[in-house]
Structure 1
Amino acid sequence: MRTTLLRAGSLAGVTVAVLAGSTGVATADDTVTGSAYGASATVSLLPGVLTDSKGGTVETGQLARSGSDGPAEASVADVPLKGLVTAKAISSSVVDGAGSVAAKASVAEVTLPLLAAAAGRVPSIRLISARCGSADGHVTGSSDLAGVNLGRLGTLPAATSPNQKLGIPGVAEVTVNEQLQRYDGALEVTALHIKLLGGKTTGALGSGDVKLASVTCGPSKERAPEAPPRGPGQVVVIPAGAPQTGDGSLAEG
């Protein structure tokens, strides 16, 4: 009859080794990113739209940009924005946490010479701001505008729901609290988006886009289960007293 004896300490050694290799558990990816900027413009203007303007293309890039990839905050003062827009101050910030992000952008004391001909006066807005946040897989966003005078372009309701539009057909479209859901689940919120619609209509200004106070927040994601470690990290269990150890404690009886 063959009897196998196992030292008491061997079982503990096996148990620890197995637990050490059990890493295939799904974990939450706490990398959630956000970005924000105060203003941007890419437009082609017709001659005479701005005072003493011969027309042409204006491209500013994103002013006062911040993001999870840095910088965490940015600001610009007394912004002429190539004559299209003026602003006393533009700022943005992004705050990252464990599995969360919050982004904000604001523009203060704004005038819109770009829309003067369409509005019958130079439109003005005391404060424009947008914010978004992402945590626990949920993304939210909102915008605020205060002290708004857009002339004959129209009047904003006191409570502005997402994607409110006003303007002059064929000339310009103004979207307030624009909220766009991206294919990856991220939310882009732009407090004020001015879109010039082309150059063939009477009173046309040109074509292109001006965005004021824009933020983007991405959703949190989950990683796929991880495989056990391989190569140098692989654990091989040899019970104490096995022939490989040579101590003879696993004996025949």
Structure 2
Amino acid sequence: MRVPLTRQASAAGLVAVAALVLGAAPASAAPGDASAHGARLDLALSGRGAVSAGPFAAATADGPTSTTSASVDVPGVLKTGAVDASASRDDKTGAVGSRASTADVRLDLLSTVVGGLSADLVEAECAATQKGLTGRAGFVGLDLERLGEAGVGVGVDPAPNTALDVDLRGVDVARVVVNEQLRNADGSLTVNAVHVTLLGDAPGSVGAGDLVLSSATCGPAGLPIPMASGAGRWLGLGLLALFGVPVGASALRRRHDLAAG
């Protein structure tokens, strides 16, 4: 009976030592989450019905961490070139990050009303560290002129949550938000490079629903698992001596007794 009891003591001692050496992070603390995708459509178009597609090139920090789609082609609504998305997590620091890019964008969704939107590249990215969350949207060759007066004053580096109201004969039929940055209830940050919302209850509306180009969501950052320091480290070493030395000595005595027998 002495051997099983000794094994139990050894196991308990190692668990206690491991808990101290790894640190005092609570068991529920987990690394943060991150995700990204290139395009997503959820629309109900007048005279056409439901048009839902995507998310294209979806990636998460849990995997797949990197995804690519050759193109997106929804006739009369959206046509793009390559779509890329990636997400990552650093378990040592708890930091997370994600990024999505959509190339050769041609958005014809509003062309029947006022015009369209085009860009050589539409990007969104975010990052979360122990210091907080940051996000940005980037554009190359962004052209909003086809949206008419709604596009006036929007440059290649628009401020967060720049909103453009698209109207038909004085009635708003859609809203376009570029560099949309949303603080979510769970503490995470979502960056949508372009978010188009159709206002379905407007007279002459083309429909209802949402279309998002290049979306990245991060955080908040997870907690790292540091090594214990100071008193905790010495206490851990003390427990190791308390459990480890007697167990080792008992094993040596048993080996000696067997050899002598």
Fold shared by both chains (TM-score > 0.5): yes
Larger Rg: 1
Aligned residue pairs, count: 202
Is the Cα–Cα contact under 8 Å of residues 96 and 221 in structure 2 kept in the other structure? no
Post-superposition Cα deviations, 1:180-217, rounded to whole Å, max 9, x if no partner, equal 11111100000000000114323x11000000000000
The equivalent of 2:34 in structure 1 is 34
- Name segments (4+ residues, structure 1) moved above 6 Å: none
1:96-245 equivalences under 5 Å are 96-97=89-90, 98=92, 99-120=94-115, 122-150=116-144, 151=146, 152=148, 153-155=150-152, 156-169=154-167, 170-202=172-204, 204-221=205-222
Assess if the C-alpha contact under 8 Å between 2:138 and 2:157 holds in 1: no
CA deviations on 1:57-115 (whole Å, 9 max, x unpaired) are: 01113110000121011111132035411001111011221311110000001001111
Q: Secondary structure at the match of 2:54?
A: coil
Determine the structure 2 residue equivalent to 1:90: 83
Structure 2 spans left out of the alignment, 5+ residues: 1-12, 225-239, 243-261
Q: Distance in 2 between matches of 1:142 and 1:207?
A: 27
Q: Which has the higher helix share?
A: 2
Give the match's secondary structure for 2:62: coil
Q: Distance in 1 between matches of 2:18 and 2:219?
A: 33
CA contact under 8 A between 1:131 and 1:141: conserved in structure 2? yes
CA deviation profile, 1:128-156 (whole Å, cap 9, x unmatched) = 00000111141110001221222113131
**Mind listing any 5+ residue stretches in structure 1 that lack a counterpart?**
1-15, 48-54, 224-234, 238-253
- Residue identity over aligned pairs, in percent, reads 33
**CA-based RMSD:** 2.8
SS at match of 1:36: strand
Indicate conservation of the 8 Å contact 1:137/1:219, yes or no.
Answer: no
Helix, strand or coil at the partner of 2:112: helix
- Cα distance, 1:159 vs. partner? 3.4
2:81 partner SS: strand
Distance 1:112 1:158, change over 3 A: closer
TM-score norm. by structure 2 comes to: 0.70
